[in-house]
Amino acid sequence: MKEFVFLTAGGVALGIVLGGISGKAMNYVPERSVKAIITIITAFSSYRIAEALSVSGIIAKPRGLS
């Protein structure tokens, strides 16, 4: 049970942090194509970073990028 909570909480926390960072970055970019690229890179990198940290990569979807 403790491992499940760690995996879940770690994934959510990472998603919130990376979503906030990418959201701030997108505020400075006027082009839609660049915003799409930032979204794709953030989604892919959040999964890879989460797996490297041994937390849930699936749950680490950046919040605010839906």
What is the model's pTM? 0.81
Helix (H) or strand (E) holding 30: none
Is 65 a residue whose pLDDT tops 60? Answer: no
pLDDT confidence of residue 62: 77
Write out pLDDT tens, residues 4-52. Answer: 999 999 999 998 999 899 989 889 999 999 999 988 999 899 999 999 9
Distance of alpha carbon 35 from alpha carbon 12, whole angstroms: 22
